[in-house]
Amino acid sequence: MSRRTETGTLAGHSGTPIEALQEAFRVLSGAGSLKEESARFRSVIGDYFRGDEVRLLRRTTGEWESMGGGPEGTAGALPSPAAGVAGASALEGESVRIVQRLADGSDVGVVLLRGGSGNPYTESDLITLRLFLTVFENAYREMIARRNEKDLIFSLNHRVLQLNSLIDTGIEVSKITGSAPPHHLALERAASLTNASKGVLRVTRGGRTEEEGWFPHGGAPEGGAPGSGGISTGFDFGGETYTFQLFDKESRNGIIPFDETDQLLLDALSKQVHASLENLYLHQEALEKQKIEQDIAVAASIQQRILPKSLPVIEGYDIAGVNIPSKSVGGDYYDCIPLPDGRFALVIADVAGKGVPAALLVSSFHAYLTAYLEADLPLVELAKRLNRVISRASTEDKFITGFFALLTPSSGFLETLSAGHNPVFLRRTDGTLQELILGGIPLGMLDMDFPYQSETLTLGKGERLLLYTDGIPEATDPRQRLYDEDFPLRDFVSGKVPDRAGTFIEELIADVKKYTGSAPQNDDITALYLMKL
């Protein structure tokens, strides 16, 4: 006989049935597990139905399992809920049987049996038991919600930790100088962030492994290849393929599959390594470029010391020159050098090619030329010696065209020699133009005693001499047409007779620049102009 008051409250409980159910919910919701909640539920039901036997069972996918109060076989008579229905019940006089669907999809069943003589169970007892079971289900739902909330908070905290670690790793990986290569550091951090027990990094080129690194360190793990269920990512850089692989994600429950976040972390680290390698490459390129620019600056400084800052004053003559390199350093050279015997050596030269190699050869040419002029060698012998030393000091694709003239100022006597250079123009008093081309092959083209020839002439009052390099006649406009084709240089020399040599040079350069317009200068421009007053 159940011990209930006339108001239907629990024995020992002075409140209403609603209050009894509320108290039951408070007791049940304090449980930390289904096992603990089941024990509390049986205690609550036992207090309400004093002297009756309470059996509690649970079914997930298979057979019913006892959760206390009686043997599992008791479940044989439990009713089965209809499709789509959350519960079922049966009232059979001396027993009440109820099944309730829980929030996790499992079923819980309660069997209530009379423990001795007493009145049969009534519909009211069935409703009361169903209400208590509903309280049980609500308390269980709340427990699951608390557990999910706890898991969510833990997951969020773990994701925040992973994000912070990813940011720290990104900063460490992006360092241009570090204690370890960025791809090795990324492998260690990726394994740590994803709880992978094993990882491998491979760098391959054309299908051949160039580099391989394992985590933990020390080579491939013992016992063969890592387990299945790994994740991987990679990228291509510099003709090489970088591949990261992680295996065997560890947890408190053993090895578990990697999740989507693990793949995202690995992909993010891979992208950071890719960016770091690109930054490192660009940094090294910048350092190399800086070094080259420093070398070029040194070469340009040396070349500026070789080229004349000002030309000597020659009594009875006016002379002017110009050099405009197409790059920071050029391959053109010109000078007017006073000789001990009162003569002057007029020289112009053009090295095949541009840039630092050409500038270095110009430096060698200047040194040898100065030495041979001081030795007072005949012009033909000077050319022969220059040809030999330049041939031995340069590569096969490097040679120098040049023009040499020895001027005796008092008489206007001029001895000239062309080493494969552009024709030098001599404008006579009557306006006729003479081309000076006699000489021989460019210097350094053949390592042999080539028979150079010189020619002599005399400059009269008002006569003019133009030495130049091919940067002037071969200057191009935006449509790649040549200056000399549209405006022949010989016509300019013949038609221009200013009072000063500097004026001629200025007008010549201005005419060339007007023709080329916005087109880039593709060769050095050098000229030397001498006129007899």
**How much is the pLDDT for 46?**
82
Residue 428 within a domain: yes
- Longest C-alpha distance within the chain, in Å? 156
9 pLDDT tier (thresholds 50, 70, 90): very low
Q: Give the alpha-carbon dihedral of 362, 363, 367, 370, to 10 degrees.
A: 50
For 246-302, write each residue's pLDDT tens digit: 998 888 778 889 988 889 888 888 888 888 888 888 888 888 888 777 766 766 666
455/346 same-domain check:
yes
Residue 153 within a domain: no
262/370 same-domain check:
no
**How much is the pLDDT for 5?**
34
> What's the whole-number mean pLDDT along residues 82-108?
79
φ and ψ of 484, to 5 deg: -70, -20
Domain boundary (146, 161, 191) is at 146
Pick from 229, 267, 269: nearest CA to 247: 229
Please check the confidence at residue 147 and state whether its pLDDT lies above 60.
yes
Please check the confidence at residue 518 and state whether its pLDDT lies above 50.
yes
How far, in Å, CA of 396 to CA of 386, rounded? 16
Residue 448 within a domain: yes
419/463 same-domain check:
yes
For 446-457, write each residue's pLDDT tens digit: 888 888 999 999
**How much is the pLDDT for 128?**
87
Q: How many CB atoms lie within 10 A of CB 149?
A: 10
Q: Give the alpha-carbon dihedral of 267, 272, 274, 279, to 10 degrees.
A: 170
2 pLDDT tier (thresholds 50, 70, 90): very low
Please check the confidence at residue 175 and state whether its pLDDT lies above 90.
no
Q: Which of 73-77, 138-142, 144-148, 507-511 has the lowest mean pLDDT?
A: 73-77
Pick from 60, 39, 44, 53: nearest CA to 11: 44
Which two tokens mark 326?
């197409």
For 322-379, write each residue's pLDDT tens digit: 999 887 777 899 999 999 999 999 999 999 877 777 778 888 899 999 999 998 899 9
256/120 same-domain check:
no
Handedness of CA 53, 59, 62, 65 (dihedral sign): negative
Contact, 436 vs 407, CB < 8 A?
A: no
Residue 130 within a domain: yes
Q: Which of 211-220, 247-256, 398-407, 465-474 has the lowest mean pLDDT?
A: 211-220
336/444 same-domain check:
yes
> Exposed (0-12), middle (13-18) or buried (19+): which is 275, by Cβ within 10 Å?
middle
Per-residue DSSP letter, 497? -
For 102-135, write each residue's pLDDT tens digit: 888 888 888 888 865 567 888 888 888 889 888 8
Q: Which has the higher per-residue pLDDT, 354 or 33? A: 33
Per-residue DSSP letter, 440? E
Q: Which has the higher per-residue pLDDT, 449 or 319? A: 319
315 pLDDT tier (thresholds 50, 70, 90): very high
How far, in Å, CA of 278 to CA of 139, rounded? 58
Contact, 368 vs 341, CB < 8 A?
A: no
Please check the confidence at residue 11 and state whether its pLDDT lies above 50.
no
Please check the confidence at residue 223 and state whether its pLDDT lies above 50.
no
Q: How many CB atoms lie within 10 A of CB 206?
A: 8
Domain boundary (128, 146, 164) is at 146
Single pTM value for the model: 0.54
**How much is the pLDDT for 362?**
87
For 20-32, write each residue's pLDDT tens digit: 788 888 888 888 8
Please give the tally of structural domains in the chain: 3
Handedness of CA 488, 493, 494, 495 (dihedral sign): positive
φ and ψ of 357, to 5 deg: -55, -40
CA triplet 52, 58, 60: central angle to 5 degrees?
165
Q: Which has the higher per-residue pLDDT, 14 or 58? A: 58
Pick from 343, 467, 504: nearest CA to 414: 343
CATH, residue 97: 3.30.450.40
380/460 same-domain check:
yes
- DSSP per position, 289-356: HHHHHHHHHHHHHHHHHHS-SSPPP-TTEEEEEEEE-SSSS-SEEEEEEE-TTS-EEEEEEEESS-HH
**How much is the pLDDT for 353?**
74
62 pLDDT tier (thresholds 50, 70, 90): confident
Residue 162 within a domain: no
CATH, residue 448: 3.60.40.10
Which two tokens mark 509?
């350069």
Per-residue DSSP letter, 460? P
Contact, 384 vs 366, CB < 8 A?
A: no
User: Whole-angstrom distance between the N-terminal and C-terminal Cα of the chain?
Assistant: 147
257/377 same-domain check:
no
Q: Which has the higher per-residue pLDDT, 226 or 479? A: 479
Please check the confidence at residue 229 and state whether its pLDDT lies above 50.
yes
311/447 same-domain check:
yes
Residue 156 within a domain: no
Please check the confidence at residue 179 and state whether its pLDDT lies above 70.
no
**How much is the pLDDT for 3?**
40
% of residues, the chain, pLDDT over 70 = 84
Residue 248 within a domain: yes
> Exposed (0-12), middle (13-18) or buried (19+): which is 517, by Cβ within 10 Å?
exposed
Domain boundary (105, 130, 146) is at 146
Residue 339 within a domain: yes
**How much is the pLDDT for 484?**
93
Residue 243 neighbours by CB under 8 Å, 6+ apart: 201, 202, 203, 204, 232, 233, 234
193/120 same-domain check:
no
Domain coverage including residue 440: 307-532
235/136 same-domain check:
no
373/461 same-domain check:
yes
Residue 167 neighbours by CB under 8 Å, 6+ apart: none
Handedness of CA 507, 334, 339, 309 (dihedral sign): positive
Bridge partners of residue 465, in order along the sequence: 426, 530
359/246 same-domain check:
no
